[in-house]
Copies of this chain bind each other. A is one copy, B any other.
Amino acid sequence: MLYEKVKQAVGILNELNIDMWLTFVRESEASYDPCLNLILGTNITWQSAFIITRCGKTIAIVGSLDYERVRLTSLYDDIRKYVSSFKEEFLRTLNELNPKIIAINTSKNDYMSDGLTHGMYELLLDFTDGTGFKQRFISSEKIISALRGRKTATEIARIKASIQLTEDIYRQVSDYMKPGQTELEIANFILKKVSSYDVETAWEQNSCPAVFTGPDTAGAHADPTERIIQKGHVLNIDFGVKKDDYCSDIQRTWYFLRDGETAAPAEVIRGFTTIIKSVQMAKDAIRPGMKGWEIDKIARDYIVSKGYPEYPHGLGHQVGRSPHDGAGMLGPRWDRYGNVPYLPIEVGQVYTIEPRLPIDGYGVATVEEMIVVTENGCEWLSHPQKEIYLI
């Protein structure tokens, strides 16, 4: 699987006219470069360089004590080990290959391409001082964005398997939930299922699943609480699993009927229907070559046009080896997102679509679906929720 991605990287280097992709890291267990799960799959301790060239050479420069575990990955044909000085072996390698353009692991915009710490960047400048190499550094964000974004058939198959398991767990929790339970009870039920299938949660267990019931909930990213599900609550769950290294990320929404009710109240249905419509409009608009913000705007504008506040986050992100996998996002042109909403949508990318809106007095209406971009549009990967689930 990683071997497949490393080979894919060589093609991308040629397409982008980049001679060398250099990932410079140290002590990855303390301070992890997100790129390592794509090109290494293990941890290293000492200063290390992982190099892929447009000619297809794969070279690792690692400390002697890290040699064996890097060798066992079988990803690097040429492993150069050192004891006291990384710099010497590193410069020898640069001089030998003499790359004109060197893409390094730094990026202002895409945190998944920004594993190089500033201290390590300064070391890189020190090492190459007076050599002429330091004028050749560019960001590797385009390489990583393409490499993460363009899923191979194997990757899509794994993501589908991960989604299928998630949907299966959602069916079980739907049968299990009832008023009187707490958010934490629901979360624990799901975590037990996750562990019974011998997979991991897609992100840290504190907030995977995230469970929110009723009005005035904490909002996304907060952990499940002792809050009790009551009749008349809208409840939503944000959850995904990681199976064979690939993630799912899906949200679902329920309504708990009050005594005598046989359907959700009109305002709940109106809120939920607005969400479903906005998801469908976004999904229908996606085409390769469009910018992420254009898709976000469609859903956002529609929700606002119906009198709801706009959601305080992006419409969707890419999913793969981690819940956020690939730079480009379906997000608004906000300061804090930098350039990523401006990146083009590409074939093979997997996105979530996840708008939200508050329903006063009830809770939050949201779904999160997953799609894969195709030549002419996109296809559902998840089985989309069309109506609010009633309990």
Residues of A within 8 A of B (CB): 26-27, 29-34, 42-43, 45-47, 63-69, 72, 82-87, 106-123, 126, 203-204, 206-207, 218-223, 312-313, 322, 324, 332, 334-336
Contact A64:B219 (CB < 8 A) given known A30-B324, A322-B30, A324-B30: yes
* 12 A-B pairs (CB sep. < 8 Å): A30-B111, A32-B32, A64-B219, A65-B312, A66-B221, A68-B218, A72-B222, A82-B336, A85-B336, A108-B123, A116-B119, A118-B120
CB-based contact B121/A68 at 8 Å: no
Contact A85:B33 (CB < 8 A) given known A122-B108, A219-B68: no
Interface of A is mostly: loop
A70 to B265, CA, bound (A): 34
Query: Which residues of the partner chain B approach A221 to less than 8 Å between Cβ atoms?
Result: 45, 65-66, 68-69
CB-based contact A334/B31 at 8 Å: no
A280 to B63, CA, bound (A): 28
Closest Cβ of chain B: how far from A228's Cβ, in Å?
18
A122 to B121, CA, bound (A): 11
Known: A45-B221, A68-B222, A69-B221. 13 other contacts (CB 8 A): A30-B112, A30-B324, A64-B219, A69-B222, A72-B222, A86-B336, A106-B117, A107-B119, A108-B120, A108-B122, A108-B126, A113-B119, A116-B119
Residue in B closest to A109 when the chains form the complex, CB atoms: B119
Closest Cβ of chain B: how far from A96's Cβ, in Å?
20
CB-based contact A119/B114 at 8 Å: yes
CB-based contact B335/A87 at 8 Å: yes
CB-based contact B218/A324 at 8 Å: no
CB-based contact A114/B111 at 8 Å: no
A45 to B68, CA, bound (A): 35
Residue in B closest to A62 when the chains form the complex, CB atoms: B221
CB-based contact B120/A114 at 8 Å: yes
Query: Which residues of the partner chain B approach A82 to less than 8 Å between Cβ atoms?
Result: 336
Partner of A119, one of B29, B111, B222, B335: B111
CB-based contact A204/B335 at 8 Å: no
CB-based contact A85/B334 at 8 Å: yes
Closest Cβ of chain B: how far from A102's Cβ, in Å?
14
CB-based contact A33/B34 at 8 Å: no
Query: Which residues of the partner chain B approach A121 to less than 8 Å between Cβ atoms?
Result: 118, 121
Closest Cβ of chain B: how far from A339's Cβ, in Å?
12
